[in-house]
Chains A and B, each alone.
Chain A
Amino acid sequence: MIRRLSHILSDFDKLSQIYAVLVIIVIIGGILTIPSLEYQADRLYPKTIHPESPLDPYDRGGTPFEKTEVLAEYPENSPYLGYVTAYLTPFSLALATLTHHVGTTIVAHPGGIIDEILYNTRGLDTVVETSILFVAFGVASFLFLRRDEE
């Protein structure tokens, strides 16, 4: 028994299989607990949809160039919270008056709730994220460029 277990453990080709088994066990156990999981997502950055707004689905109220109410975890740590959200570049403001169907485009352009979260309140996440990209591409391009010298 132990010898067989040792045999499985010592073969690194089986690594992902061992891991898969562990995950499956936990998830099967987890399905039973689903009924006890209550959905509680209205505490942070809840969203309200205004279908008639040109900024739909990202209109979070407030007037452009002014402050907007944003529900963050620690508002006291981000003194300018809400400014990014309400900010629209002249270009996106013009776009908003023109048509009702490019809300996503407008908000993805600098200034919008996602920018507020990504750059301001959870900026450290984005730092890590871009660093991951940086390192991973470093690895890939190192291997790629090295192919010629062998």
Chain B
Amino acid sequence: MIRVFDQGIEGAGLFMIEFGDIVPYFSVYTATLFTFAIIFTLLATFSIPEKQMDIIFGGDAYYAKEIKPQDLRFQRFVAIACGTATLGAVVTGDIFNFTLFAAMIGITNIGIVASSRSHHVLNAAYQYGIVAMIACVPLFGGAAMILATTGTLSIWSLAGIGAAPILAKILLLLGVMGEGMAPFYIGKAEITRAQGAPFILMVHVSSLLLFLRVVEIILVI
């Protein structure tokens, strides 16, 4: 059971929590990610959003935009959900569970910007949402192939034996990229134009931590 931590990838193991077949674990690495996820979730929970200075196109005027209270409440709710999903994704010890958390991050990311009233931002969110949806194919497909070819989904059992097919690993990586990572960052960049810094920041935090986590999983299994 200790093979996970013996590969010189993520440092010593700290402790684990047993949820039946799904055993989340905290190593130095995942615990660090977990800490950052908590910090940013707390920031999203407790800090008020900035008042964005807005330029009116075609003129010289600018003014400080306010967010309507109900939009704010909604954004905060989704941001916290996103933080929770990130917390789960960085510590879970089961591949399918991880993909579910990844899918949840994808949907909350769209949700955070969904309350924006700008057509441009909504359009970006929609395009990104399409990618997040089709990313379910490589994501779930990769997990399913790992299960079918090795007979298990637990990272603990898979660690270090190199049984997981490379194709499944690449699919998993591709899936996570679709749920929100680098080359597709352009969608994110446009999303960033929406208002509500602490919440928008959650979009990036979640996708980066998710990416870091999937790198660890791919190296370990």
Which A residues are closer than 8 A to B by beta carbons? 9-13, 15-16, 18-20, 22-23, 26, 29-30, 33, 36-44, 72-74, 77-78, 120-125, 128-129, 131-132, 135-136, 138-139, 142-143, 146
Contacts and interface: CB of A to CB of B under 8 A. Distances in A.
Given A40-B148, A72-B21, A124-B97, A135 B81 contact: yes
Contacts of A142: 74, 114-115
Interface residues of B, number: 61
Nearest to A142: B74
Given A12-B186, A16-B131, A138 B148 contact: no
Main secondary structure of the interface of B (DSSP, over half): helix
B77 A20 contact: no
20 contacts: A15-B184, A19-B135, A23-B174, A26-B167, A26-B171, A30-B170, A37-B148, A40-B149, A41-B148, A74-B18, A121-B21, A122-B21, A123-B20, A124-B19, A124-B22, A125-B97, A131-B104, A136-B107, A138-B74, A138-B78
Interface of B: 18-23, 70, 74, 77-78, 81, 84-85, 88, 92, 94, 96-97, 100-101, 103-104, 107-108, 110-111, 114-115, 123-124, 127-128, 130-131, 134-135, 137-138, 145, 147-154, 157, 165-167, 170-171, 174, 177-178, 183-184, 186-187, 190
Contacts of B123: 12
Contacts of A121: 20-21
Nearest to B96: A125
Given A15-B184, A125-B97, 16 more contacts: A10-B186, A22-B174, A23-B138, A44-B151, A44-B152, A44-B153, A73-B153, A77-B19, A77-B20, A121-B20, A128-B100, A131-B85, A132-B107, A135-B78, A135-B107, A143-B115
Main secondary structure of the interface of A (DSSP, over half): helix
A19 B147 contact: no
Query: Which are the 8 A-B pairs with shortest beta-carbon distances?
Result: A43-B151, A121-B20, A139-B111, A40-B151, A121-B21, A30-B167, A73-B21, A77-B18
